[in-house]
Amino acid sequence: MQEQQLLMIKYGELGLKGKNKNQFINRLVKNIERALADLPERKVNVSLGRITVPVLDDRDAVVERLSRVFGIYAICPVRTASKDLAAIQRAALATLSEALPNGGEFKVESRRSDKRFPMTSPEISKAVGGYIFAQTGDKYTAQMRKPQHIVNVEVRDEAAYVYCGSFPGAKGMPVGTGGRAVVMLSGGIDSPVAAFMAMKRGVNIEAVHFESFPFTSERALEKVLDLAQVLARWHNRPLRVHAVHFTEIQKAIHAVCPEEYGITIMRRFMFRLAEQIASRNAAIAIYTGESVGQVASQTLESMYVINNVTKMPVLRPLIGFDKEEIVARAQRIGTFDISIRPYEDCCTVFLPPHPKIKPRLAEAEAMEQNLALDELLAEALTRTKTYIVTPDGVTEQTDEFS
């Protein structure tokens, strides 16, 4: 057979899904196809525990796309060879020469899933290593414990595969296998990381953002949509952002509620609205970027009082992270530099000097008796705008909640 250059995709924990494994793998394949859709067409192949993608002259572009597809653990550039020892040896030497052009330490590891091949795995490794030494003299040395590179040889039913090294994948589960949820997306550092963590576990997300124009600027909304564009690269499909008009609610809270309870009541409204938007979009959970003790609304007492307004699961993937860990993840996924732009979100409007850190549920409920809850929620939804966000741009979707 003619030698081909492919990318072999390893998918880690998907292989442990038992009878449901094929559902997860099929979703991963669809997500890979979607990620590569605007590149020259090629067929994604699935065969006995391996996914392969042909490489044209665009390997770097393909690897870059695949590195953001959740469910992929490693991306291995491979050479194919016919199931003939001489062909495998030549492919192994070419692969090692590319990985270590100036020589160095290596070992050969072989696996033989096609038991019809006449050599055992140790015999293949020995023959391939011997060939490399015979062809290169003392350029390379064997190192069994900590080699610079491992030459992997896999003899499978359809062909032999040879590869040396890999690119890291995003890991996790394919988006679309974990249900649908809404993420409360502010312009800060934490919530985009929470969105990323949701997607990493296969959750298909929609974002809910609360804006308080004119107290917050149009730049604050632009900042959130820019964050959504970064997240859309990981989402592997368009991401919808529901921008909720929150100004009248905040003005009403400020007018009738004690200022130390302002944040608590505000968050209770946010959760009510997030639940309604989730229900209208077949979502079954709410994600937030909260971390215990980080701010007044994130004490356990505050979370209990705020959570009380929704029956929907509220998931907090950053709950045990400190700020330094969250910042590191934000930098890694590409949201940090946007999050620190100096355009504040609605949480800074009417911010009290001493917010209540241990609110009481009965007190919060009594204060809300002075608010026209249903009318305020209905108006906020009616004035909500929905944006369709892709890595390349933003379009507005009108009349969704009117």
Tokens representing residue 177 in the block: 């296998």
User: CA–CA separation, 184 vs 192, rounded Å?
Assistant: 9
User: What is the full DSSP assignment across 46-109?
Assistant: EETTEEEEE-SS-HHHHHHHHTTSTT--EEEEEEEE-S-HHHHHHHHHHHHHHH-TT-EEEEEE
Binding site residue list for ATP = 184-185, 209-210, 267, 289, 298
Say if residue 214 is preceded by a cis peptide, omega within 30 of 0: yes
The b-or-e profile of 304-328 (16+ CB within 10 A means b, else e) is ebbbebbebebbbbbeebeeeebbe
Binding site residue list = 184-185, 209-210, 267, 289, 298
The b-or-e profile of 150-165 (16+ CB within 10 A means b, else e) is ebbbbbbeebbbbbbb
CB 236 within 8 A of CB 35: yes
Tokens representing residue 96 in the block: 């090692």
Alpha helix (H) residue ranges in 105-242 = 121-136, 190-200, 218-235
